[in-house]
């Protein structure tokens, strides 16, 4: 890639970053976890200054119940679309209740976590038991529930002055296997060009990255990362995917994420393998469809730039992989595009995907 192309690429990438930063500020009032404008971070003591949870709690020891907050302690723990702050009530050395506070997380995912009874899992436990108890993430709301679990543990640990290792509970078989699949999806296409190998890789992408891990780049993920930053103890996979999507083009691999990693793109290509001969639109129709995709992306950005329509990000077809959480509208839309993919190569990727439009613009491509 020539220096002029690299400079153009950098300018496009910075433009995208500025646009999405504006969206992140409008949506959450934060950049990298720091409040912007009039949306001040809620202070623990309600005075605008940082407070020590243990000090606040110690002043309440005369009462039967101590209430501690995760605000100021677990602000860097990020779920799917934001932090998951909680209040924890303690009486006689045992947890009475864990209550979620106002948050920027996706309402659908947080509602699922609450209805699963996850916050009741700590009720009745001693503080030592509460820090060490094994609590499973909620299927279909993995990022949100994992962040909530870590938030509770960090808050209790801070109270008892026994902060756990930042890497405690981070590594799991799901994480390791998902990362291995992602690495394979990046590296194998560079060395193997067998159709069979390609189909196997696509199927593994769908099964592991999509259905099992629920990992993908989306507008929600990017805006969340700008608003809150990425906690590498809970967001290793999103960080890796973002690097693949936005850094690999600098090394002469534009579109590598979309073509070789994205589980939705993989699923459409697998559907297309059912029928050999596809409908190929005329140059005029193709130009119109590409214009539609770009117009859709621009319209979405403009709506969010004026402080509205943030929920529209949750209607990208990627969330259909979260089968028990996805909106019925998203599932129906994803199924429709999957059927269409039998006759038209990757229709959602090529003619609709807002995230794909963002990545193409960032790569200075049309």
- Rounded CA-CA distance 210/319 in Å is 9
Higher pLDDT, 235 or 163: 235
Per-residue pLDDT at 60 exceeds 60: no
State residue 233's pLDDT score: 62
What pairs with residue 65 in β-bridges?
91
Q: Is residue 184 a contact partner of residue 201, using CB atoms and an 8 Å limit?
A: yes
Residue ranges matching CATH 3.90.1010 in the chain: 53-159
Closest CA to 106 of 13, 223, 15, 191: 223
Q: What is the mean pLDDT of the chain?
A: 81
Each as own residue / partner, the long-range contacts of residues 181-188 (CB below 8 Å, 24 or more positions apart, any chain) are: 181/205, 181/208, 181/209, 182/209, 182/215, 182/237, 182/240, 182/241, 182/244, 182/261, 185/209, 185/260, 185/261, 186/244, 186/248, 186/256, 186/260, 186/261
Q: Are 39 and 29 in contact (CB under 8 A)?
A: yes
Question: For 134-190, how does the pLDDT look when each residue is reduced to its tens digit (9 = 90+)?
Answer: 888 777 677 788 888 888 988 888 887 644 455 555 567 888 999 999 999 999 888
- Confidence label for 20 from pLDDT (cuts 50, 70 and 90): confident
CATH entry 3.90.1010 includes domain 53-159: yes
pLDDT surpasses 50 at 232 = yes
């Amino acid at each position: 890639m020539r220096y002029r192309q690299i400079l153009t690429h950098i300018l496009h990438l910075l433009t995208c970053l500025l646009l999405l930063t504006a969206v992140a500020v409008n949506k959450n009032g934060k950049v990298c976890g720091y409040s912007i404008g009039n949306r001040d971070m809620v202070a623990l003591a309600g005075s605008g200054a940082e407070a020590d949870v243990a000090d606040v709690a110690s002043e309440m020891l005369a009462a039967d119940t101590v209430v501690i907050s995760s605000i100021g302690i677990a602000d860097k723990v990020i779920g799917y679309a934001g932090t998951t702050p909680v209040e924890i009530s303690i009486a006689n050395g045992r947890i009475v209740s864990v209550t979620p506070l106002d948050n920027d997380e996706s309402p659908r995912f947080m509602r699922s976590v609450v209805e699963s009874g996850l916050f009741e899992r700590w009720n009745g436990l001693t503080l030592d038991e509460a820090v060490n108890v094994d609590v499973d993430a909620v299927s279909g709301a993995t990022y949100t529930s994992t962040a909530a679990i870590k938030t509770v543990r960090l808050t209790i640990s801070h109270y008892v002055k026994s902060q756990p290792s930042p890497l405690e509970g981070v590594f799991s078989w799901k994480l390791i296997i998902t990362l291995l699949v992602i690495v394979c999806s990046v590296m194998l296409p560079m060395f193997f060009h067998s159709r069979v190998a390609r189909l196997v890789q696509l199927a593994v992408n769908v099964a592991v990255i999509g259905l099992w891990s629920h990992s993908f780049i989306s507008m929600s993920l990017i805006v969340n990362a700008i608003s809150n930053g990425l906690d590498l103890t809970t967001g290793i996979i999103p960080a890796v995917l973002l690097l693949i999507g936005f850094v690999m083009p600098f090394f002469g691999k534009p579109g590598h994420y979309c073509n070789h990693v994205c589980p939705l793109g993989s699923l459409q290509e697998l559907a297309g393998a059912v029928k050999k001969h596809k409908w190929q639109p005329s140059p005029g129709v193709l130009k119109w469809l590409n214009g539609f995709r770009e117009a859709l992306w621009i319209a979405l950005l403009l709506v969010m730039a004026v402080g509205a329509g943030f929920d529209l990000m949750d209607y990208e077809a990627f969330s259909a992989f979260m089968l028990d959480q996805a909106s019925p509208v998203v599932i129906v839309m994803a199924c429709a595009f999957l059927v269409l993919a039998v006759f038209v190569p990757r229709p959602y990727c090529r003619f609709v995907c807002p995230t794909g439009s963002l990545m193409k613009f960032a790569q200075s491509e049309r």
